[in-house]
Structure 1
Amino acid sequence: MGEVEHGKGQDDVAEAVDEVMRLVIRHLTDHGGLTFAAIMCLGRLNRDGPVRLTTLGAAEGVSQPSMSQLVQRLERQGLVVRIKDPQDGRASLIAISDAGRVLVADRLRDRHDRLAELLATLSPEDDASLRLAMRVAGPIVRRLIESAHRPGTDATES
């Protein structure tokens, strides 16, 4: 009986997460002509700093040839640059450019502004409930993200 209740609880969480994703993807995100893979790549470079192409591809779950094509497109758009690897002068690292940083920052600000508009439509009670829920859920979600990034965890194996 405990397993059924636990499974139902997981279903409820999965359904709620799906709803949040739908809100973010459909109502808060303006892709601005970029593919989802490009957006994720720029976000990772912005957060983690310069990396080798193969490392970037592995982190994003993309083959090396596909990542190479994506990076070339982003280079042509001026959103990433190649820099010398300080550990190995023969190799290069992929880094986000200043224009890429501006784009990421603008997209984040736009997403936050749009969310603020939507939050303003809530009743004070719903607003307070959502804020409380997010204070509780936020650290848990961050731990899930960290767990998903660890090699050998079920979350990274699909």
Structure 2
Amino acid sequence: MTSASPASDTTRLGADFLSVVARLNRLATQRTRLPLPWAQARLLSTIEDRGEARISDLAELDHCSQPTMTTQVRRLEDAGLVTRTTDPGDARAVLIRITDRGLEVLAQARIDRAAVIDPLLEQLSPDDRDALTSAVGVMRHMLDLAQNS
């Protein structure tokens, strides 16, 4: 009997991790009435993470066309959730920024989605909750590594 190589163990862990996170996200989204469509909430979160971004950058991040992203940003702008400002580095371009109202709506969407997960967390043992707390810290560290690479 041969043992699995560390690389295949990491690949399997990565696939399992992404599958579980995706299922949790779907569960939270399916059982929540969000204040805006899921795609717009996800885009708003991306804009919050970036601080500000060009529409072309957002389109690239979301793997969509620039006209599609322009439409999505316009919807957020019409709702008062983002604003456009001139890019100081290129007066022909605009930067998209989240508004205070956008931050409030995004925070409420996160609270509403967490309300789906919270009862499940309460059913876990204290040891499992501690392990999950540690895992969240590790996930944050992974995101920091990704952002800095």
Query: TM-score, normalising length from structure 2?
Result: 0.75
- Measured in 2, the distance between the counterparts of 1:40 and 1:121 equals 28
SS state of the match for residue 84, structure 1?
strand
Contact 1:57 1:63 in 2 (8 A): yes
CA distance in 2, matches of 1:118, 1:20: 15
Amino acid at match of 1:63: S
Which of the pair has the greater relative contact order for Cα pairs under 8 Å at 6+ separation? Answer: 2
Query: 2:22 aligns to what SS in structure 1?
Result: helix
Relative distance call for 1:106 and 1:2 in structure 2 (3 A) is same
Q: Which of the numbers 99, 106, 109 marks the counterpart of 1:107?
A: 109
Instruction: Report the equivalent of 1:48.
Output: 50
User: For residues 28 and 145 of structure 1, do their structure 2 counterparts lie closer, same or farther at Cα, with a shift above 3 Å needed?
Assistant: farther
Distance in 2, Cα, partners of 1:106 & 1:34: 10
1:131 maps to a residue whose letter is D
Alignment check: 8 A CA contact 1:28 1:115 kept = no
Secondary structure, counterpart of 1:34 in structure 2: coil
Structure 1 window deviating more from structure 2 (55-64 vs 110-119): it is 110-119
Say yes or no: does 1:23 pair with 2:31. no
**Counterpart of 1:60?**
62
SS of residue matched to 1:2 = coil
Match of residue 146 from structure 2: 147
Q: RMSD of aligned C-alpha atoms?
A: 3.0
Select 1:80's aligned residue among 79, 82, 101.
Answer: 82
Task: List runs of 5+ in structure 2 lacking aligned partners.
Answer: none
Which residue in 2 is equivalent to 1:128?
127
CA distance in 2, matches of 1:96, 1:51: 10
Q: What is the TM-score when the length of structure 1 is the normalising length?
A: 0.72
CA distance in 2, matches of 1:88, 1:16: 40
Aligned CA distance change for structure 1 residues 32 and 2 (closer, same or farther; 3 Å): same
Which residue does 1:155 correspond to in 2?
A: none
Instruction: Measure, in 1, the Cα distance between the counterparts of 2:75 and 2:123.
Output: 39
Aligned length: 147
CA distance in 1, matches of 2:29, 2:38: 14
Where has structure 1 moved over 4 Å in runs of 4 or more? none
Q: Give the letter for the 2:51 counterpart.
A: G
Q: 1:31 to 1:61 in 2, by over 3 A?
A: farther
Query: Which runs of 5 or more structure 1 residues have no equivalent in the other structure?
Result: 151-158
